[in-house]
Amino acid sequence: MSQENLTSEIRSVPTDQRYPVTAAIRSRRTIFQFKPGAVPRDVLEEILEAGIWSPNHHLTEPWRFTVIGEETKLTLAERYSEIQIEKITSNPKAAAAADEETLAKVGEQGFKKFTSKPTIVAVSCLQEGDDQRKREDYAATCCAMLNIQLAGWERGVGMQWSTGAITMEQNTYDLLGIDSGQEYIIGFYYMGYPAEVPTHERKPVDEQIRWTS
């Protein structure tokens, strides 16, 4: 179909159905609270499959997905809980104000928070070639991450992209069997069916566009 025909065909569709991709982009929100229940494996595979159609220079397909199993999740949750305590104990002012009971509570809440994420996927990108290749592969994997989030959204699955401390530790690489010399973990995706969808505003786009002559 010619571009002209395609354009007039699109214009004949009611406005609210005309741009489903834009509608998904605008309505997508980061999800922090999930209903119990993991994302079924077939749905997760479909969502991740959408990610691999993302643009990638020289077709390096640099993305790798590590789906975290229940046992591994519990080990990570223990460490996540320690990190929450360390955030307090590493800050002299906060440490002075916190007693043992408070720290134990913080640890417990951290464990609960981490285990409340129904499905967790670590997304990493290959670390191959020169700096330019690494930059492009990182960017391509970020494109895949957004497409995964949108494909999830389309299926009612929400996500939070996390770059928290636990995603960066060598311990995490070792636990997940990811060689940190070969791959870089861009983040974890905490996923599930949303219990709550936050609302956000954006500044008008004309504040962010620069037009040159």
Ligand X SMILES: Cc1cc2nc3c(=O)[nH]c(=O)nc-3n(C[C@H](O)[C@H](O)[C@H](O)COP(=O)(O)O)c2cc1C
Minimum Å distance from CB 84 to ligand X?
13
Stretch that binds ligand X, among 12-20, 54-62, 94-102, 162-170 (CB under 6 A): 162-170
Answer yes or no: are the C-beta atoms of 213 and 149 closer than 8 Å.
no
Q: Which residue is nearest to ligand X (CB)?
A: 30
Assess 160 for contact with ligand X (CB under 6 A). yes
- 69 Cα distance to chain centroid: 17
Answer yes or no: are the C-beta atoms of 191 and 118 closer than 8 Å.
yes
Minimum Å distance from CB 193 to ligand X?
16
Stretch that binds ligand X, among 41-49, 62-70, 89-97, 157-165 (CB under 6 A): 157-165
Helix (H) or strand (E) holding 183: strand 183-192
Binding marks (x or -) toward ligand X, 25..64, rule CB under 6 A? ----xx----------------------------------
Answer yes or no: are the C-beta atoms of 115 and 74 closer than 8 Å.
yes
Number of residues that bind ligand X (CB under 6 A): 9
Assess 116 for contact with ligand X (CB under 6 A). no
Closer to ligand X by CB, 118 or 164: give it: 164
Among 33, 163, 171, 182, binds ligand X (CB under 6 A): 163
For residue 64 the two structure tokens come to 């790798």
Report residue 9: phi and psi, to 5°: -65, -45
Give dist(CA 10, CA 16) in Å, integer: 11
Pairing type for strands 63-67 and 183-192 reads unpaired
Assess 161 for contact with ligand X (CB under 6 A). yes
